Amino acid sequence: MRKRDFVKLAGLGIANRILPAPLYGFWQRAMEKQSPGRRVILVTFGGGVRYSETFAPEGLANIRRLAALREEGYFFRACRNEGVLSHFNSTASIVTGDWQRVDDFGFEPPASPTLFELYRKAMKAGPLDAWVIATNKSFASMGASSHRDYGPTSGANVVLPKQLLLDAVKDVARKPPDAGLARREEVLRGLENILHEGYEGVGWTIFKGGRELNRHVRETLTGALAEFINGPDAPTSGDELTFFIAREVMREFAPRLMLVNFWDMDVAHWGSYSLYLQAITRTDRLTGMLWDEIQSNKHYKDNTTLLVLPELGRDGDTDTSNGFLNHRSGDPSCRHTWLLALGAGVKGETERPIRHIDVAPTVAALLGMRAPAMSGTAAPELLR
Amino acid sequence: MSQSTPPRADFGHVPVTFSSYLAEQLRAWDTLFPAERAYLERLSAYLEKAPAAMFDPLQEIERKMGVAGKWPRGRFTLEQVDFLNRNPHYPEWRAEIARLFSRIDPVLDADLAAKGRPRLVVIISPAELPVGPDRMWTRLAKQGRRVALNAPDNLDHYLPLLLTGNADPAKGRCLPSFAANRPSYATWVIETGELIGALCPTPGAVRLSYELLRGFRQRLMQEVQRITEDKTIKGPRQLSERLKTLKLHPSEAGLAGDALLGEFVRATLLAGNGTLLINNTFVEWASVQALRRARPDVLIVGFGIRNKMKPFSSMLIFHDQDRATAIPTQADMLGSYVDLEVLYQYIWQEAARRVEYRNNTAYLFTAIGMDEMHLIAPPDFPLAQPASGGRSSLAAVHEAAGKWLAG
């Protein structure tokens, strides 16, 4: 199985779960005829990244693609996160336009309607028109709110690519030890099965389903998966898997609204500055590749706005213990981020401060929606 | 000298979020180092006499936050942490707490500053770093100065010369022994491996080694894995509470006889900051915590080379990385160098912001085999002024540090 087959399988597996086969065919034909309305893709540098490692002069070496793309787009130098400095609440604030104060670890959905629900309801959009692809596996409830007028039936499809992989292994590990599981083909068949089944059931560890197996089979399975993951074609990080799934969703379903949450840079919590820098560089590269896909995909070229921003910063080096490892101090380094808009039809940059909650009303305006009142305000710079 | 029983925390004129913080600290009295106890005693004494008006702004913020009726006096639980974090007035509250401490701490510190004594921090980097001295300690360049060294040809002699003054450690005198008459928990050796502790087996010194803690680390990882598979755990905060019950066994590090150190090690390894997984993160975080909590007079830190992370290792966070995948474990020299440049700074900053270390601490940043070191020290430290005669020997560095400690 090639990498492309793998991710294609992931996307199609999800579609089949969402729609019965006849409806899916209908939807595909409808997509071909749809009007060339504007599309928006939101990319978050999840996990948080400091200005100093990105758009500050000393950080530009870590984000060569975005630094170059800045000339083509509109850059907000001061985008502030004034909300709760946890991952879930930060991203939930971005997609709702209201500061969210729900459970930090994603055990509650956002309290205000998400862009995805608003968009689908306002535009009578289909179930495959709004997606969340997230490396952070606590984002399972990012696609829809607990608001009484909305909810999962009008929300986004949420794909947690790393979880796909975990569940794949779990499924393979459940099979009896005499089923030839040591063979790579069997592992991949297991992957296919689980991808068709869906991706829900967030777990914590990889062997949750395999504990009854004898040790030899379990180790053989792990080795087979490692071989697959580490093969010349396979992704090597959660964010790479997220990118490939996101690209496949774009190619197969061409949604008008999509959130892509990269998250590898949260490795900063481990205390390794070099791994943190590598993750930033990788996210920069993958974001650039996403922009390349927009430019080469007929559904997206010339009608797509790509908004890129960190969900939060990280602690500064001087005011707190262990600066970059954490992101809860509330110091300026935690709250000061940036936003780059590509494909909005405008170029330039501004010092005018904007906030994370200004993103959702901006997206709503770009998509031509009449959105309900949000705490944030649309950025006029992107709506000329 | 600190008391054996905790001081008061129930002051009616102190706002509940503040007094609860103090009460929660005092609740852990048995696991506090003498320096921590002494601080809390001074804080309690200060609060007893502090004017109520000092807390008016905090009272007002608590009113806006809706604290009244939702906060059990004397408790600061996970629910209260959640309440604060999610409250729209949290940034205001946090700023006011910082303002209060910026007013209180100088008063509490004044006495300590007057009783300062010479202290020493030695930070040793491994020989395998792939750079020369010109690329070392770059974030500290504005502090202190470089000292040219006569590094021995035989790398094996470097550490004995630095730490004992003699290539044969049996004939030298370990640096920590110059502070032998200091109070308990005054000397700490924290390292990735076992070299420094073996060279300087000083009685009374606290010795923490990432390598020697391997058994405890592996048991912790297995326990975490087991607990996280248990569906009764809702999330990270609940997991953290459960993990507090995992204690060090006597056989696991030689520290278990000291409950205080056993708890220190457990808390350090489960801090959620990679201390279980990355040797240098453990060493840095343990050093920072030792400085923050125990305020040692002598701290010797030995970094190492960390392993390369394996692909998708974040999925296997609580698995033994050496066994989780078939990929061979490899050392990451360049990555370790990049990591350490930041970690040196964090350790130095942690000490520098404590009154005990201001104006009386010599920091020696060295790397095994390197013919330069970086020195941050008060002007009266013997090597603080540029020498006219060129390079210093490691024995001379040892002698200077020993004299400094001996006062």
- For chain B, what are the domain ranges? 16-114, 119-406
Question: Can you give the pLDDT at residue B185?
Answer: 92
Name the nearest CA neighbour of B319 among B290, B277, B361.
B277
Rounded distance, CA A358 to CA B276, Å?
A: 39
Cβ neighbours of A226 in B, within 8 Å: 311, 325-327
Instruction: Report the SS3 class of residue B342.
Output: helix
Average pLDDT estimate for B242-257: 74
Cβ-contact B22, B47 below 8 angstroms: yes
- Assign A315 a pLDDT band (cuts: 50, 70, 90): very high
Report which of A148, A153, A110 is spatially closest to residue A130, judged by C-alpha positions.
A153
Q: How many CB atoms lie within 10 A of CB B407?
A: 8
Report which residue type is found at B121.
V
Residue B76, pLDDT above cutoff 90:
no
Higher local confidence (pLDDT), A27 or B190: B190
Q: Minimal Cα distance from A105: which residue of B?
A: B235
The tens digit of pLDDT for each residue in B23-44 reads: 888 888 988 999 999 999 999 9
Cβ atoms of residues A6 and A233 within 8 Å: no
Confidence at residue B229, expressed as pLDDT on a 0 to 100 scale: 65
Q: Quote the pLDDT of residue B175.
A: 93
Q: Residue B150: which pLDDT band, with cuts at 50, 70 and 90? A: very high
Please compute, for residue B330, the number of CA atoms within 13 A of its CA located in the half-sphere on the CB side.
11
Q: What is the pLDDT of residue A230?
A: 52
Judge contact between A85 and A350, C-beta under 8 A: no
Pairing of strands B187-191, B119-125: unpaired
What confidence score (pLDDT) does residue B3 get?
Answer: 55
- Give mean pLDDT, residues A45-70: 96
State the nearest Cα–Cα gap between B112 and chain A, in angstroms: 22
Beta strands B119-125 and B298-302 are parallel
Q: Does residue B306 sit at the A interface (CB-CB below 8 Å)?
A: yes
What is the pLDDT confidence band of residue B365, given thresholds at 50, 70 and 90? Answer: very high
Question: Strand ranges (DSSP E) for A93-138?
Answer: 130-134
Q: Which domains does chain A have, with CATH numbers?
A: 3-162+237-382 (3.40.720.10)
- Which residue bears the tokens 């900063």? A268
At B72 the pLDDT is 80
Residue B195's pLDDT band (cuts 50, 70, 90): very high
Residue B271, pLDDT > 80, answer no
Distance from CA of B403 to the nearest CA of A (A): 31
- What is residue B244's three-state secondary structure? coil
Q: Which long-range contacts (CB under 8 A, 24 or more apart) does B167-175 make?
A: B169/B199, B169/B200, B172/B398, B173/B402, B174/B199, B174/B200, B174/B201, B174/B202, B175/B120, B175/B122, B175/B200, B175/B298, B175/B300, B175/B398, B175/B401, B175/B402, B175/B405
What's the CA gap between B1 and B401, in Å, rounded? Answer: 28
Which of B95, B316, B302, B341 is CA-nearest to residue A335? B95
Answer whether residue B154 shows pLDDT above 90.
yes
Angle at B129 between CA B126 and CA B134, to 5 degrees: 110
The residue ranking higher by pLDDT, B238 or A72, is A72
Residue numbers of B between 317 and 336 with CB closer than 8 Å to A: 318-319, 324-327, 332, 334-336
- Say whether pLDDT at A197 is over 50: no
Neighboring chain B residues of A89 at a CB cutoff of 8 Å: 86
Q: How many Å apart are CA B288 and CA A320, to the nearest integer?
A: 12
Average pLDDT over residues A51-63: 97
B168/chain A closest Cα distance in angstroms: 35
Hey, of B65, B82, B83, B86, which one would you mutate to test binding to chain A, going by the most A CBs within 10 A of its CB? B86
Instruction: Write down the residue that tokens 């010339």 correspond to.
Output: A302
H or E stretch covering B299: strand B298-302
In a mutational test of the B interface, the residue from A207, A321, A335 whose CB has the highest number of chain B CBs within 10 Å is: A321
**B positions 339-358 inside 8 Å of A (CB):** 339, 341-343, 345-346, 349-350
- Identify the pLDDT of residue A32: 45
Per-residue pLDDT at B287 exceeds 60:
yes
Q: Residue B119, SS3?
A: strand
| Residue A193 pLDDT grade (very low, low, confident, very high; cuts 50, 70, 90) | very low
B72 neighbors B138 (Cβ within 8 angstroms):
no
Q: Cβ separation of B85 and A86 shorter than 8 Å?
A: yes
**Percentage, residues of chain A above pLDDT 70:** 71
Pick the residue of B315, B334, B340 with the most A CBs within 10 A to test the interface with A by mutation: B315
> What is the per-residue pLDDT for A19?
45
In this predicted structure, the answer to whether residue A218 has a pLDDT above a threshold of 90 is no
pLDDT at site A77: 97
**pLDDT tens by residue, A100-145:** 999 887 888 999 999 999 999 999 998 789 989 888 878 888 999 9
pLDDT of residue B8: 79
A270 vs B281: CB contact, 8 Å cut-off? yes
Q: What is the ipTM of this complex?
A: 0.91
Alpha helices per DSSP H over B145-304: 158-164, 195-199, 214-229, 236-243, 259-269, 279-293
Q: Among the listed ranges A30-39, A171-180, A198-207, B386-395, which one has the minimum average pLDDT value? A: A198-207
The separation between CA B239 and the C-alpha centre of its own chain, rounded to angstroms, equals 23
pLDDT of residue A66: 98
pLDDT at B267 over 50: yes
Nearest CB to A107: which of B235, B309, B327?
B235
Torsion angles phi and psi, residue A350, rounded to 5: -145, 150
**Angle at CA of residue A99, ends B100 and B63, nearest 5°:** 40
Nearest CA in chain B to A90: B86
**Strand locations in B319-360 (E):** none
Mean pLDDT of B248-257: 72
Q: Is B293 helix (H, G, I), strand (E, B) or coil?
A: helix
Alpha helices in A98-254 (DSSP H): 115-123, 161-174, 184-197, 215-229, 238-253
What does the angle CA A182 – CA A188 – CA A194 come to, to the nearest 5 degrees? 115
Question: Span B119-406: which CATH code?
Answer: 3.40.720
Task: Summarize the confidence of residues A303-309 as an average pLDDT.
Answer: 97
d(CA B209, CA B193): 6
The pLDDT confidence band at residue B69, using thresholds 50, 70 and 90, is: confident
Q: Which residues of chain B have a CB within 8 Å of the CB of A230?
A: 311, 325, 327
CB contact at 8 A, A288 and A69: yes
pLDDT at A166: 60
User: Are A273 and B284 within 8 A, CB to CB?
Assistant: no
Range of A88-102, A113-127, A194-208 with top mean pLDDT: A88-102
Q: Which of A26-40, B121-135, B153-167 is predicted with the least confidence, judged by mean pLDDT?
A: A26-40
**In the prediction, which pLDDT does A2 show?**
43
Report residue B257's pLDDT band, with 50, 70 and 90 as the boundaries. Answer: confident
**pLDDT value at residue B388:** 66
Inter-residue long-range contacts of A317-322, CB under 8 Å, 24+ positions, other chains counted: A317/B342, A317/B345, A317/B346, A317/B349, A318/B349, A321/B288, A321/B292, A321/B346, A321/B349, A321/B350, A322/A271, A322/B273, A322/B284, A322/B285, A322/B288, A322/B346
Buried b (16+ CB within 10 A) or exposed e, A331-365: bebbbbbbbbbbbbeeeebeeeebbbbbbbbbbbb
Contacts of B271 in chain A (CB under 8 A): none
Q: Tell whether the torsion through CA atoms of A116, A120, A125 and A128 is positive or negative.
A: positive
CB pairs under 8 A between A and B: 128
Average pLDDT, chain A: 78
Average pLDDT value for residue range A70-96? 95
**Three-state DSSP state, A319:** coil
Mean pLDDT rounded to a whole number for chain B: 87
Q: What is the mean pLDDT of residues B220-228?
A: 76
Please report which confidence band the pLDDT of residue A211 belongs to, taking 50, 70 and 90 as the band edges.
Answer: very low
A205, A208, A314, A331: best to mutate for the B interface, most B CBs within 10 A: A205
Task: Give the Cα separation of A277 and B377 in Å (integer).
Answer: 32
Looking at CA atoms only, how far is residue A105 from chain B in angstroms? 7
